[in-house]
Structure 1
Amino acid sequence: MSFEDEWREWHRARESYAGAEYGPAALESTNWLITEPAAVEGVPGLWALTGDGGIRGSELGTSGSIVTLRGGETIRFGRRELRVFDRNGVVALRVFNPRRPQRERFSAIDAYPPRKGWRLRAVFESTPGEHITVTAVDGQRHESAVAGRLRFELDGIPRTLTVTRNAHGDLTAVFADGTNGIETYRFRFLVVEEPADDGSAWIDFNRAYLPPCAFSDQFLCPLPLDENTYTSSIRAGERAVILGR
């Protein structure tokens, strides 16, 4: 499969994921609860924290039934699906609705055409024991372990890309560039291929993708670090969500 065909397959998979019935565009609300039961818009019953990392729903209209959700458990009321969201030990109740207008209007993801020139050589340097402060879009901060830094050149200028590891063990980064707010969303995400044993690596900006908060403002995405913010324009990867009428 050619470079362009591999990219198109990746792009099709991204659009399928983004527009899925319970994909990111369906996130309707993120509800921060307390131990005192309270109503959640759009779903029956009263909802509260259990105190041990779970969420309990009561007064659900069927003989006073009670449900408890933990971890990856979900429950549906009509078309809406409820999930537990855990942010560094603090949990919230998320409501996904396939009939959310932004999900129903989702049409595609605009992206730059793939170019081999945006697959850049880099050198990976591991940084054991180092931590950074990550700030989310709502201003909340938390400490995260740094996996390492990739050194590369952008427009002939030496740059670094700080990466962490996600829950799957992949090297990931959040970055911003000169296209943001004009041609692309305000920042983008990137998964980096695992470096070779000698530290040689590739950064493929063609695979830069929109963060979940581009599809719903109820996501709490991390913002890019200062060192991952570039004045140069990276015209590669996903640009913006396209909504139909």
Structure 2
Amino acid sequence: MGFEDEWRAWHDSRERYAGAEYGPAALESTNWLITEPAAVEGVPGLWALTGDGGIRGSDLGTTGSVVTLRGRDTLRLGRRELRVFDRRGEVALRVFNPRRPERERFSAIDAYPPRKGWRIAAVFEPTPGETITVTSVDGRSHESDLAGRLRFTLDGVAAALAATRTPQGGLSAVFADGTNGTETYRFRFLPIEEPASDGSVVIDFNRAYLPPCAFSDQYVCPQPPPGNRFSAPIRAGERAVVLGR
């Protein structure tokens, strides 16, 4: 499979994921709970934290009087699906609804045509023991281990991209560039291939993708750190969500 075919297969899989019945566009609400039972819009019963990382629902009518959700547990109530969201010990109840208008109207992900020129050679410099402040779109900040920096040249200017590791162990970066707000969403995510033993790696901006908060404002995505904000336009990767009528 050639370069363009591989990219199109990736892009097709991204669109299938984004438009899935219970995919990111279906997130209807993120509800930060307390230990006192409270109602959640669109969902029967009363919901509260259990105190040990779980969520308890009571007075659920025909589905049973009490249910407890932990970890990756899910619960279907009608068409809605309930999931637990744990942000470093803060627990919320997430409600996914395939009938959310933005999910039903999802049509495609607009993207730039793939170009080999946006596969840029870089050198990865590990940063053991260094941390970086990550600020989410809701203003909450936390310190995260910095895996390293990728040194490369962008439009003839030396640049660096700070990368962290995902829970699965892969390298990833969050970046902003000169296209944001006009041609693209306000920032994007970028997976990074594992560097070779000498630190050499290719940054493929063609695989830059929209964060979940581009599909629903109920996500709390991490924003780019200051060093990952470039004034130069990076016209590669995904641009924006396309909604039909």
TM-score range (shorter-chain normalised) is: over 0.9
- 1:131-170 aligned at under 5 Å gives the runs 131-170=131-170
Per the alignment, residue 238 of structure 1 pairs with 238
- 1:65 CA displacement: 1.4
Per the alignment, residue 129 of structure 2 pairs with 129
CA distance in structure 2 between the aligned counterparts of 1:93 and 1:19, rounded to whole angstroms = 22
Per the alignment, residue 103 of structure 1 pairs with 103
CA distance in structure 2 between the aligned counterparts of 1:60 and 1:235, rounded to whole angstroms = 49
Rate the CA distance shift 1:138–1:63 in 2: closer, same or farther, 3 A: closer
CA distance in structure 2 between the aligned counterparts of 1:163 and 1:89, rounded to whole angstroms = 23
TM-score (norm 2): 0.99
1:229 aligns with 2:200: no
CA distance in structure 2 between the aligned counterparts of 1:55 and 1:171, rounded to whole angstroms = 32
1:174 aligns with 2:174: yes
Q: Which amino acid aligns with 1:221?
A: C
TM-score (norm 1): 0.99
RMSD between aligned residues: 0.8
Per the alignment, residue 94 of structure 2 pairs with 94
Residue segments in structure 1 that go unaligned for 5+ positions in a row: none
- 1:189 CA displacement: 0.2
Q: Deviations over 1:206-243 (max 9, x none)?
A: 00000000000000000101100000000000000000
- 1:2-81 aligned at under 5 Å gives the runs 2-62=2-62, 65-81=65-81
Residue segments in structure 2 that go unaligned for 5+ positions in a row: none
Q: Secondary structure at the match of 2:221?
A: coil
Per the alignment, residue 183 of structure 1 pairs with 183
Q: Which amino acid aligns with 1:71?
A: G
- 1:119 CA displacement: 0.2
Q: Secondary structure at the match of 2:174?
A: strand
CA distance in structure 2 between the aligned counterparts of 1:84 and 1:17, rounded to whole angstroms = 20
Identity %: 78
1:209 aligns with 2:180: no
CA distance in structure 2 between the aligned counterparts of 1:28 and 1:42, rounded to whole angstroms = 9
CA distance in structure 2 between the aligned counterparts of 1:138 and 1:224, rounded to whole angstroms = 13
- 1:63 CA displacement: 8.7
Q: Deviations over 1:153-182 (max 9, x none)?
A: 000000000000001111000000000000
CA distance in structure 1 between the aligned counterparts of 2:183 and 2:220, rounded to whole angstroms = 22
Rate the CA distance shift 1:64–1:77 in 2: closer, same or farther, 3 A: closer
Pairs aligned (count): 245
Q: Secondary structure at the match of 1:210?
A: coil
Q: Deviations over 1:13-62 (max 9, x none)?
A: 00000000000000000000000000000010000000000000001114
